[in-house]
């Protein structure tokens, strides 16, 4: 039986990857957690900030401006910590 927290963790990953892929025509299934959004998807700074704002609205979690986010995995770790979830990686 799958736990609610495991389901929520996987859902956060899928939803975050889908949101990132909406800003550029990247296939969300090909996005990786080590991906640097600006380098590998072509997101410019404004797109990345818009994406962060969408994630804040979606998860009701503020993302501080000074938070060092270098990869999608960094962002997911922050969201999971803020939501008291454990990611399956």
Answer yes or no: is 17 within a domain: yes
DSSP structural state of residue 60: T
The range of the structural domain enclosing residue 24 comes to: 4-82
Q: What is the pLDDT of residues 22-74, one digit of tens each?
A: 776 556 566 666 767 666 666 777 887 888 888 889 888 899 989 888 887 88
Q: What is the mean pLDDT of residues 13-23?
A: 79
Q: What's the CATH number where 63 sits?
A: 1.10.1200.10
Q: Indicate if the alpha-carbon torsion angle 62, 57, 48, 16 is positive or negative.
A: positive
Given this model, what pLDDT does residue 36 score? 72
- For residue 81, CA distances in Å to 12, 27, 61, 74, 77 come to 12, 26, 10, 11, 6
Answer yes or no: is 88 within a domain: no
The pLDDT of residue 85 is above 70: yes
């Amino acid at each position: 039986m799958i736990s609610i927290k495991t389901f929520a963790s996987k859902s956060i990953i899928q939803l975050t990857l889908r949101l990132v892929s909406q800003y550029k025509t990247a296939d969300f299934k090909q996005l990786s957690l080590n991906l640097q959004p600006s380098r590998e998807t072509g997101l410019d700074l404004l797109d990345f900030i818009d994406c962060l704002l969408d994630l804040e609205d979606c998860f009701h979690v503020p993302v501080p401006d000074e938070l060092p986010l270098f990869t999608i995995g960094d962002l997911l770790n922050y969201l999971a910590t803020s939501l008291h979830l454990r990611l399956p990686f």
